[in-house]
Chains A and B, each alone.
Chain A
């Protein structure tokens, strides 16, 4: 009993420090697993390819990140695990080995899968609304604001004196 009581705080300290230590170990184990799986997930999408050099590998990664997978349309060719994405990655790799430049590779894909594969849509008659739509909306909004301001300032100059009389009629009903 005596022994137990005296050792109790000690045990608690040991337990706490042990817990902290265990937590630390657990955390590092968890972290390690996450890192391992992150690596696996990444490796699944991009299988190792025999690049000629590191610059070519970077170029490949940069290019495939600019291209959309036709199958999983929210994914880039770099990220997608769809069979067609894998085939297209291989095709791009082969074309790079043949010395094709990025534009030629993009042209090759666009000719088969349309502009859809480009994340950056080119300016054509079909896409001008996409490019200039926001500007049109902005101009429209600016026009509306301008008209509203003019109307208000005009009615303001006419009814400077009557404004106090007008106030009660505006009972806030007008939302």
Chain B
């Protein structure tokens, strides 16, 4: 990556909304590179969408700098220039509901400079890849929420722009299609496209992201590759136990065996333990409770989602 220039270089970015005054982004810095999937993760209200709206020029930063291929992005007056390089999938409703699926995708392709025939054929290919080709002649306003999201995604992908910014691309989409979408995006990344992905679906995003920045309250709480972020938790393993519904066993007893940090939710108990003690601890719990009293027992190695949740609790 270092031999190339970053697609986006964000330096000390700050965005403050007025009335009421809210600091949506503060001291945010990162680079996004060609051929890389960069994830912006965080809970609702963390400032993720505000961040990407500044990247595409829809919002002007309060202070700090955004560089796109070396040129500054200062707000709405730069949006048209950004749009020649960056394709943006926003959150929210799909507009232009009177257009058919085919028209919507092909028209956006034409506005991005494709010839009519190429725009139509690319639109066909994308709708097939996203399994919405049967909806080609249907008006957008007559689609379900998930179908509309897929059309929005096709509208974002058409035109083969070198940078994609996707805000919650798999929202409202069923699990089987999500896999197809991740596969499609991974293919684009391998082809050299820079993808900036905003999501709070951490578990899914872990498989496609090369680097991640985790935002909370407008600030970057942690950044790095998923492996780097998980390294802080690598010495720990999570034990998850579910007490059988008909067992006369108090989950609090198992929680006590798992240590003071164990969390109990109904019949489920979970606790982080040192990785080298995990098996021994689990054996102790199972022998004390009796296997017949337990519905489920698991040892879980840390995931990016665990990093995210632990950051939220302030444990890292």
A, B from the same assembly: no
B interface residue numbers (CB < 8 A to A): none
A interface residue numbers (CB < 8 A to B): none
